[in-house]
Chains A and B, each alone.
Chain A
Amino acid sequence: MRVALQVTCINDALFPDTGKAMVTLLRRLGVDVEFPAGQTCCGQPMVNTGYLDEAVPALRSFVDAFGGYDAIVTPSGSCAGSARHQHQIVARRSGDAGLVAAVEKTAPRVFELTEFLVDQLGVTDVGASFPHAVTYHPTCHSLRMLGVGDRPRMLLEQVRGLRLVDLPAAEECCGFGGTFAMKNADTSIAMGSDKARHVRETGAEILVAGDNSCLMHIGGLLSRQRSGVRTMHLAEILASTEAAPPTVAPLSVEPVETRGLAL
């Protein structure tokens, strides 16, 4: 089985540690994961903002990069959802029969990390160790678009030393929503503030999720509030072992003191 890592544009540029954790974890489980260098973005930012024509170049690069693989694994429920549910819409609209045919092959082979581990590899104990109190936010696209169900929980429960704390109103959206976070910033922040409050209520040290874009939003709020809660991608926790704990930066975000006063 040839397995490709679709790292996603956000992780590539902003959260490379998640990509590295994916490599560490998958190799440990015997998967010789490859990184097709031609990959760029799944096109979701354009599609969800209404720019379907503008998503075509990204889609072409996607099928070119991943065309030959049996499985395409991604640390993002949202990008997996985009590939499985939106790529065909973009391809059809482009009127390019070749692209439609290519998407027919790639779309069903895209798996979000927990789907790949539990359904394709059949493992829930990945041999991880992470002795911290953790709370888990099921991101909307993992939960409702892909239906990953309790796979992430099954995986987390097997991690040595990890104490999983229930997040109140866990299934409620954090308010990120891609360009929603900018176009409707006030509403997005109102939703995120409630999510951040629930996270703080748990008393957990770390908020984990399967999507760094949502974590960037919630983490940005938690950091601004100096809450002392850190965010981590699920892959980084699952990659962690006693011998090789994650190299964690103090807080993944850099607070800026003066900014709030301007404008």
Chain B
Amino acid sequence: MTATFVGMPPFPTAARAALEDTQLRHNLAHATGTIRDKRARVVAEVEDWEDLRTAGAAIKDATLANLEQHLVQLEARLLEQGAVVHWARDAAEANRIVAGIAKSHAVDEVVKVKSMVTQEIGLNEALALEGIAAWETDLAELIVQLGDDLPSHILVPAIHRNRAEIRQIFLERMAAAGRPAPTDLTDDPAELASTARLHLREKFLRARMAVSGANFAVAETGTLVVVESEGNGRMCLTLPEVLVSVVGIEKVVPTFADLDVFLRLLPRSSTGERMNPYTSTWTGVTPGDGPQEVHVVLLDNGRTRALADEVGRQALRCIRCSACLNVCPVYERVGGHAYGSVYPGPIGAILNPLMHGVGEDAQTDSLPYASSLCGACYEVCPVKIDIPSVLVDLRAQVVDAHRGGVPPVTHLAEAVAMKGVAATFGSSRRLGFAERLVRLGTGVAQRLPVATPWTNARDVPKGPPESFRAWWKRTDGGRR
């Protein structure tokens, strides 16, 4: 994959381009609508769903409050079970560690389990620079990788593609990556899937090293957990000799009993299934069974930064189910690429600024504003992340980051306007003026042949002859 999110324009610009893509809008509306309904149906079956959400949030909060202790315990158990544990402060460190392991075994290719964290750190690109090919084995990831494309959804990275496009990608690109697609391939989904299956099978059987992430890491036993649907993960986790798992430090859960809560929350929220088809767990090395060399790379890469944020730290509860994406009306219309990150949608709009910090680049600063604050994400989040509140808090951080200095050009007019509004709303006497201004504003908007962001597509209300307060005063509240 050579495509990159680096240098993406701010959200409104990227969104404008995406909105013009009718195929994208059609695919997204259909796909998110379907999965949204499915999720709603299976969630409604669980009587104690709300209690389960509360429990999930509470476990994560308690774990994050004592993160160090749980991580140290996880490391100790992993070492006891024969795993090698690495700590990585950032993406570059993590990538160096994984590449180093690959080189120590002289492999020039690895197979990969679908993982958000390795996309976050750009592992495939880093390995490519070292001459190591990293093959995605999840069907949608394979489509994205072969198409030299970017993922646009956490769970369904190729959600923006339809089957005709997928057929084309397979026909044109598979040969260069291994077993070619049959020349008479049609766009029948079963045929597409079996083509991918044959292509991937060769890679599974050949690869000597696999790279995965982990959905959860159980501290009390040192067990890693991968939850998936296709079985490709199971192949990667069991066939090669060497297994390297890159795990964000927020993935730790204290006990197996805690894991139970999340294994109930995740599939229903994510794919809308009662249970996911494959749940793989492994605890270090099992002699004579599966990979005989197991590495775990525990990654920070901005997570401690997010943890220090009093309001925003709840974002670290996220179990990457993508329910918030599927219900988000903004995501549904612009898709994932406009967010400029592997983490799109509502969670991306808070996670990226929290992990990178605000006030430095316009793209990150635009993300907290990429929401109408409708609250649909909060309603479905299985770990109750109050995304709208975090968005509002991050907006304040963006504004505060530009206080004192000269605000960027894009914010200048707004900053001045807000100061004026603040003064106006400080006193009702000044508001008399303000209303006249509003009426002047709407009057001008109606008369000037100038398109503004509002009037491009929307008419403006006609200003009333008198304000409510003027009416109240004149008629004594309608009594005269």
Chain A residues with CB under 8 Å of chain B are 7, 9, 11-17, 19-20, 23-24, 34-35, 37-41, 43, 45-58, 60-61, 65, 85-86, 140-141, 143-145, 171-173, 175-193, 216-217, 219-221, 223-224, 249, 252-256, 258-263
The secondary-structure label for the interface of chain B is: helix
Instruction: For residue A45, give the distance in angstroms from its CB to the closest CB of chain B.
Output: 7
The secondary-structure label for the interface of chain A is: helix
The listed residue with most B CB atoms (<10 A of its CB), out of A17, A40, A53, is A40
Contact among A43, A65, A180, A260 for B369, CB-based, below 8 A: A180
- B376 proximity list for chain A (CB < 8 A): 140, 144, 171-173
- A172 proximity list for chain B (CB < 8 A): 329, 374, 376
User: With an 8 A cutoff between CB atoms, is B189 at the interface?
Assistant: no
The listed residue with most B CB atoms (<10 A of its CB), out of A48, A183, A184, A254, is A184
User: With an 8 A cutoff between CB atoms, is B459 at the interface?
Assistant: yes
* A43 and B423 alpha carbons, distance in the complex (Å): 12
- A86 proximity list for chain B (CB < 8 A): 392
Instruction: For residue B261, give the distance in angstroms from its CB to the closest CB of chain A.
Output: 24
- A252 proximity list for chain B (CB < 8 A): 461-462
Q: A23-B478, A41-B425, A220-B458 are in contact. Are A141 and B469 (CB under 8 A)?
A: no
Q: A51-B422, A58-B422 are in contact. Are A263 and B451 (CB under 8 A)?
A: yes
Instruction: For residue A36, give the distance in angstroms from its CB to the closest CB of chain B.
Output: 9
- B192 proximity list for chain A (CB < 8 A): none
Q: A40-B428, A180-B371 are in contact. Are A24 and B478 (CB under 8 A)?
A: yes
Instruction: For residue A9, give the distance in angstroms from its CB to the closest CB of chain B.
Output: 7
User: With an 8 A cutoff between CB atoms, is B464 at the interface?
Assistant: yes
> What are 8 of the A-B contact pairs (CB < 8 Å)?
A16-B464, A23-B478, A37-B469, A39-B428, A40-B426, A192-B458, A256-B446, A261-B449
**Nearest 8 CB-CB pairings of A with B:** A177-B372, A57-B426, A220-B458, A50-B395, A173-B374, A54-B422, A185-B453, A144-B375
Q: Are B330 and A52 in contact (CB under 8 A)?
A: no
User: With an 8 A cutoff between CB atoms, is B161 at the interface?
Assistant: no
Q: A23-B477, A50-B392, A61-B428 are in contact. Are A13 and B372 (CB under 8 A)?
A: no
- A11 proximity list for chain B (CB < 8 A): 468
Count B interface residues, CB 8 Å. Answer: 76
Closest to B436 in A: A13
Q: Are A49 and B399 in contact (CB under 8 A)?
A: yes
Q: Are B431 and A40 in contact (CB under 8 A)?
A: yes
- A85 proximity list for chain B (CB < 8 A): 389
Q: Are A262 and B369 in contact (CB under 8 A)?
A: no
- A259 proximity list for chain B (CB < 8 A): 448-451, 455
Closest to A218 in B: B458
Q: A49-B418, A58-B425 are in contact. Are A217 and B329 (CB under 8 A)?
A: no
Contact among B25, B373, B455, B469 for A180, CB-based, below 8 A: B373
- B334 proximity list for chain A (CB < 8 A): 187, 190
The listed residue with most B CB atoms (<10 A of its CB), out of A50, A182, A219, A258, is A50
* A69 and B221 alpha carbons, distance in the complex (Å): 58
Contact among B414, B434, B457, B464 for A49, CB-based, below 8 A: B414
